[in-house]
Chain A
């Protein structure tokens, strides 16, 4: 009897372990690829994560102490911003792009819709210094943090030194964001053999693999490369995406392929938030592709989906929603 129980426990343990990887304290499923982030330069530490979480939710990072990172990246929207097609910053100013969801950032090679930022550490410099986002300067934010007793002790715990520097602030913000791992959707449960797809979802999965997986590659649902998915230019924004970074005209209207996890929480869709519903997105891929010169080759052949197939494909996309991620308390506003 006792042997049986032990055997059973070991069995459970082995199945569990085979789905879980640990990388410098980050837990993620074994079917995820290796992270891109170089943890050896910023080893994960619970005090640094706590510091980063406090900074992420603190409007001290903005010029008039009104806007925090979470103002545009809300935990309940998988860290995106749903009310606005374009981001909404300091003094009610409207930016040029939709605030993307933040999760599984450790696997991304570049950041922003156009990949202008090459490292997660450096990303916060963009919103902090943008006159329409947080309207601050890096130097002044660090000065304000150094004047706060609250942060002095958090910095001490994290870095064994109470002084805030730009480097430390950035590394702590990166650490909190690296912990935002979304891997608990129905799709993940199916992958781990703990759930199964309905016929409709299964059918949608097949359609997905045929039409979408080349760019929105599972299990992260993006290859994080840039693509031109046939969205016509919005002439009021004149946003040519990647072209403006590489200055290479063949990158015209190329944007970073976003992950398709958590779509129910992250509407509106695309870099300018032009689509409110997933059905709008379906119609774009079947009937709306603008045949511009640099359209990605995966989309030059028309995608044909019946209305039933569109519904099936959406049903599959819904299995990528991760409620555990969205309601996870350790990601939310810190209650100290």
Chain B
């Protein structure tokens, strides 16, 4: 009797959870095809480097079936901080049952939010993603050390943002997806660092042409994991 009751509860539970229809977008940063580890020494023949911080905003995620917008993720601003693995997954509930095969989102924070004062949650300034000496969100923080950098302690520090033209750094990313339950997005950091050219550019901390280029390189590095 008790068993039947448990089975009954289980069937109800599973049918409810199927209706709830949760999807997930997960960011999986890698270094030379292995999961990125913060503060780990990566050695090469001409460089030895480590990454100490990787944080970025993903905002306004929309879901499409072919070219038709069918749904969007209700949490508009998501801060991904590799130091807190739970932030790497964006879980969301679908509002309809239509399958999607394409997603779009922005890297960084839109200009309206940048001029509208204080916000909480992922946008709270205690997250360290807001400039203090001038107004504006930092869309991407990437910090570490590399033998290639001629700077003090061989440090590189990229605080990428800017919401005003000509240095509006927000980038739109558009990707075709295979399934629509769990989308894993890869970010090849080793490839990105090669493109960044650390011997010459290792300190970008305000809106500028360089910041814009890095924002573009970063969003180009986001790929759907095959």
A contact residues vs B (CB 8 Å cutoff): 38, 41-42, 116-122, 125-126, 128-130, 137-139, 142, 165-168, 170-171, 174, 245, 247
Query: Would B116 and A119 count as touching, CB distance under 8 A?
Result: yes
| A-facing residues in B128-167 (Cβ within 8 Å) | 128, 130, 132-135
The answer to the question of B85 belonging to the interface, with a C-beta cut-off of 8 Å to chain A, is no
On whether the beta carbons of A167 and B118 are closer than 8 Å, the reply is yes
Q: Give the number of residues in B that approach A within 8 Å (Cβ atoms).
A: 19
Q: Is the CB of B124 within 8 A of A167?
A: yes
Inter-chain contacts of B118 with A (CB < 8 A): 42, 119, 121-122, 166-167, 170-171, 174
Give chain B nearest CB distance to A137 CB in angstroms.
Answer: 8
Q: Give every chain B residue within 8 A of A139 (Cβ-Cβ).
A: 126-128
B196-207 contact mask (Cβ, 8 Å, vs A): 1 or 0:
000000000000
User: Which residues of the partner chain A approach B133 to less than 8 Å between Cβ atoms?
Assistant: 116, 126, 129-130
> With A and B bound together, what is the CA distance between A40 and B42 in angstroms?
50
In the complex formed, the residue of B with least CB distance to A140 is: B126
A166 vs B208: C-alpha distance when bound (angstroms): 27
From known contacts A116-B133, A116-B134, infer whether A138 and B120 are also in contact, taking CB-CB under 8 Å.
no
- Contact residues in A for B126 (Cβ distance below 8 Å): 138-139, 142, 165-166
B12 within 8 A of A: no
Closest CB-CB distance, A134 to chain B, in whole Å? 11
CB distance from B198 to the nearest CB of A (A): 24
Whether A170 lies near B125 (C-beta < 8 A) is yes
Residues of chain B from 89 to 126 with CB closer than 8 A to chain A in the complex:
114-120, 123-126
B114 cross-chain contacts in A, Cβ below 8 A: 118
A119-B125 contact given A126-B132, A130-B132, CB 8 Å threshold: no
A143 to B, closest residue via Cβ:
B126
B131 CB to closest chain A CB (Å) equals 8
Q: Are A174 and B117 in contact (CB under 8 A)?
A: yes
**Given A117-B135, A125-B130, is A41 in contact with B124 using a C-beta cutoff of 8 Å?**
no
A122 CB, nearest partner CB in chain B, Å? 5
Q: Is the CB of A120 within 8 A of B132?
A: no
Interface majority SS on B: helix, strand, loop or mixed? loop
**Considering the chains assembled together, what is the distance between the CA atoms of A122 and B123 in angstroms?**
12
Complexed CA–CA distance, A19 and B134 (Å): 37
B115 near A129 (CB under 8 angstroms)? no
Does the CB pair B116–A41 fall under 8 Å?
A: yes
Nearest CB in chain B: distance from A135 CB, A:
12
Cα distance, A126 to B132, chains bound together (Å):
5
CA distance A140 to B132 in the complex (A): 14
Could you say which of B119, B128, B208 contacts A167, with CB atoms under 8 Å apart? B119
Instruction: Give 3 closest A-B pairs by Cβ, nearest first.
Output: A121-B117, A167-B120, A166-B126
User: Which of chain B's residues have a CB closer than 8 A to the CB of A116?
Assistant: 133-135
**Residues in B whose Cβ lies below 8 Å from that of A38:** 116-117
Q: Measured between alpha carbons, how far is A4 from B176 in the docked complex, in Å?
A: 80
The chain A residue with its CB closest to the CB of B135 is A118
Which of B118, B126, B127, B133 lies at the interface centre, i.e. has the most chain A CB atoms within 10 A of its CB?
A: B118
The answer, among A120, A138, A247, for a CB contact under 8 Å with B125, is: A138
Set A41, A117, A121: member contacting B134, Cβ < 8 A: A117
A69 to chain B, nearest CB (A): 15
Task: For A125, list chain B residues within 8 Å (CB).
Answer: 125, 130, 132
B133–chain A nearest beta-carbon distance, Å = 6
State the CA gap A117–B131 with chains docked (Å).
10
A118 to B112, CA, bound (A): 11
Q: Which residues of B contact A247 (CB under 8 A)?
A: 208
Chain A residue nearest to B207 in the complex (CB): A247
A141 to B, closest residue via Cβ: B126
Q: How far is the CB of A140 from chain B (nearest CB, A)?
A: 9
How far apart are the CA atoms of A247 and B167 in the complex, in Å? 11
Cα separation A116 to B127 with both chains bound (whole Å): 21
Chain A residues whose CB sits within 8 angstroms of the CB of B132 once the complex forms = 125-126, 128-130, 138
Within 8 Å CB of B124, what residues of A? 165-167
Which residues of A sit under 8 angstroms from B208, Cβ to Cβ?
247
Q: Which of A120, A130, A137, A168 contacts B120 (CB 8 A)?
A: A168
B58 to chain A, nearest CB (A): 20
Mind listing 27 A-B residue pairs with CB under 8 Å? A38-B116, A41-B117, A42-B117, A116-B135, A117-B135, A119-B115, A119-B117, A119-B118, A121-B117, A122-B117, A122-B118, A122-B130, A122-B135, A125-B125, A129-B133, A138-B126, A139-B126, A165-B120, A165-B126, A166-B118, A166-B126, A167-B120, A167-B124, A170-B117, A170-B118, A171-B117, A174-B118
